[in-house]
Amino acid sequence: MKDSQTHFDTIDYDKEIPLHMRLYYAEKKVGLMLERLKDLGFYNKTARILDVGCGTGEHLKALSGYGFQNVYGLDLSGNLVRSARAKNPSIANQILQGDILAPPFPDKFDVVFTITMLHHLASVADQEKALENMIGLAKPGGIIFVHEMSIRNPLFSFYLKHIFRKRIHLDTGKEIFIRDSFFSNTKSAKLIDIRYFTFIPDFTPQIILRPLAVIESWLEQTPLTAWGAHYLVTLQRNEKNN
């Protein structure tokens, strides 16, 4: 993962996507996870939660806004960890620099999640190991969430592979995008479901974001949601250790 670490240490992450879109995506993704926790009977503000690949801490901040304080962040990039700590001073000592391929946490979590991190790993083998390590960091019966970008929609796939990385410097061109079938054969956790969402692109002007959000919300209630730009995978760790 060294190349990924070096890349994210050399860019100003928060300037790559407009603030209003970063906040919109963060609120939407965190909101979806909290909704799923409520559906599954796991919503608890004292839950111990880990954000793997926490970046600049937008999702940790959103969780704190909902009253969750027992939250932790892990990121390979020292640059991003410093930014995340600055945004989340009350939990700064809970945000660590480290590698999910060799996680530094001895204890288990009620919820472990990652948001658009897996596709940055160098190989499918690393992606598989990272997922297994995330599952291993969850308590037996714990919940694991994985957010990834969908390449099912050919228009979004084209944008992601040929336009996004020229406009935005978050990607290097070496990314390995993941199809949802990747999560079907996980032995140490049960796949609960996969939900597709979001149609609003990252370059949307703030002035039209609100009306587009209304349209997006409607689309997500129709079969067209299967063509959404992102998906959320919900897994539950097996009760017995494998």
Residue 22 pLDDT grade (very low, low, confident, very high; cuts 50, 70, 90): confident
CA-to-CA distance for 179 and 219, rounded, in angstroms?
21
CA-to-CA distance for 181 and 28, rounded, in angstroms?
24
Contact status, residue 116 vs residue 13, Cβ threshold 8 Å: no
- Compute the chain's Rg from CA coordinates: 17
Contact status, residue 182 vs residue 127, Cβ threshold 8 Å: yes
CA-to-CA distance for 143 and 160, rounded, in angstroms?
29
Which residues in 91-229 belong to E strands, given as ranges?
95-97, 109-115, 138-149, 189-197
Residue 161 pLDDT grade (very low, low, confident, very high; cuts 50, 70, 90): low
Main-chain phi, psi angles of 195, to 5 degrees: -120, 130
Cβ neighbour number for residue 102 with a 10 Å cutoff: 9
pLDDT tens-digit profile of 39-81?
999 999 999 999 999 999 999 999 999 999 999 999 999 999 9
Tokens for 27, please give them: 């609120």
Average pLDDT over residues 6-32: 75
CA-to-CA distance for 161 and 193, rounded, in angstroms?
26
Contact status, residue 206 vs residue 18, Cβ threshold 8 Å: yes
- Angle between the N-to-C axes of helices 2-9 and 78-87, in degrees from 0 to 180, rounded to the nearest 10: 50
Contact status, residue 132 vs residue 112, Cβ threshold 8 Å: no
Looking at every residue in the chain, the average pLDDT score rounds to 87
Average pLDDT over residues 118-127: 91
Question: Could you tell me the CA-to-CA distances from 199 to 150, 155, 218, 219, 221 in Å, in that order?
Answer: 11, 11, 11, 8, 12
Contact status, residue 130 vs residue 101, Cβ threshold 8 Å: yes
- What homologous superfamily is domain 2-237 in, according to CATH? Vaccinia Virus protein VP39 (3.40.50.150)
Average pLDDT over residues 195-210: 90
